[in-house]
């Protein structure tokens, strides 16, 4: 028997509200993508048997259940008594597009004051406190403007701030010049944490490591993620931890 191409996951029978675009499970998205692809390629929707064979389902019941879910959520229409009667009403990318437009439309101060967007993904403004070096420490962290951030990147929005990144010493972590990092305010960290640290009022982003057996002036290591840079060593008393990096934003 052919092994199913879809991950095992319990389906939720939750109908979408009138006119709303509801998110898809990974399995639903895979099936809808396959149906769309077949229609674009051949001009005909796949039969239940073809869907069953493509994903390795043991019976048509699985296909019928997924079609029912996609119909409830407004993505498909199934014409009765037709072998190839599946009609795509919304693309598998419709929900992501809706979130993108909501994100773009809610950038004014008035809309931000209304709170988070409805649904599983929201946005909200957090303080943008200046620049942080991904190299040698540079600018002082200062008060400034705000940055609108997806809520999923924040563990505690009330204790979260953003910094712009300057330099490339953290490039192997995927942190590049002009990125924004999302930081949870915290004054302590454990070995290996990605932190924003302040040294003599200048800020840097690095991995932090403690070496209690080293000489006193080299017990705290701020390690870059770029082979062209070397670690920076300090007395523990010379370094203030400002927070843990919890997310990253990039403008293309």
19-36: buried (b, 16+ CB within 10 Å) or exposed (e) per residue?
eebbbbbebbbbbbebbb
What is the rounded distance in angstroms from the CA atom of residue 205 to the CA atom of residue 198?
Answer: 9
Q: Which of 169, 198, 213, 235 is catalytic?
A: 169
Q: Which of 206, 231, 242, 251 is catalytic?
A: 206
12 a catalytic residue: no
DSSP-assigned letters across all residues of 174-203: T--TT-EEEEEE-S---TT-EEEEEETTEE
What is the rounded distance in angstroms from the CA atom of residue 18 to the CA atom of residue 213?
Answer: 64
169 a catalytic residue: yes
Kindly tell me the sign of the dihedral angle through the C-alpha atoms of 168, 170, 174, 176.
negative
Q: Which residues are catalytic?
A: 169, 206
């Amino acid at each position: 028997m052919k092994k199913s191409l879809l991950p095992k996951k319990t389906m939720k029978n939750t109908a979408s509200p009138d006119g709303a675009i509801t998110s898809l499970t990974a399995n639903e998205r895979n099936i809808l993508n396959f149906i769309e692809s077949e229609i674009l390629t051949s001009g005909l929707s796949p039969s239940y048997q073809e869907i069953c064979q493509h994903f390795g389902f043991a019976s048509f019941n699985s296909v019928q259940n997924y079609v029912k879910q996609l119909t409830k959520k407004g993505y498909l229409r199934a014409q009765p008594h037709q072998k190839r009667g599946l009609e795509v009403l919304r693309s598998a990318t419709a929900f992501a597009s809706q979130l993108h437009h909501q994100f773009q439309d809610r950038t004014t101060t008035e809309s931000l004051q209304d709170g988070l967007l409805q649904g599983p993904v929201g946005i909200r403004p957090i303080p943008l406190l200046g620049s942080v070096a991904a190299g040698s420490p540079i600018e002082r962290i200062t008060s400034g403007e705000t940055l609108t951030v997806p809520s999923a990147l924040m563990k505690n929005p009330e204790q979260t701030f953003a910094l712009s990144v300057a330099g490339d010493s953290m490039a192997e972590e995927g942190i590049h010049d002009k990125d924004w990092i999302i930081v949870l305010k915290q004054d302590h960290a454990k070995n290996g944490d990605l932190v924003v640290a302040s040294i003599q009022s200048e800020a840097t982003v690095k991995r932090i490591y403690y070496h209690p057996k080293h000489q006193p002036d080299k017990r705290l290591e701020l390690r870059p993620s770029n082979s062209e840079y070397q670690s920076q060593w300090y007395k523990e008393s010379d370094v203030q931890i400002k927070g843990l990096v919890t997310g990253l934003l990039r403008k293309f």
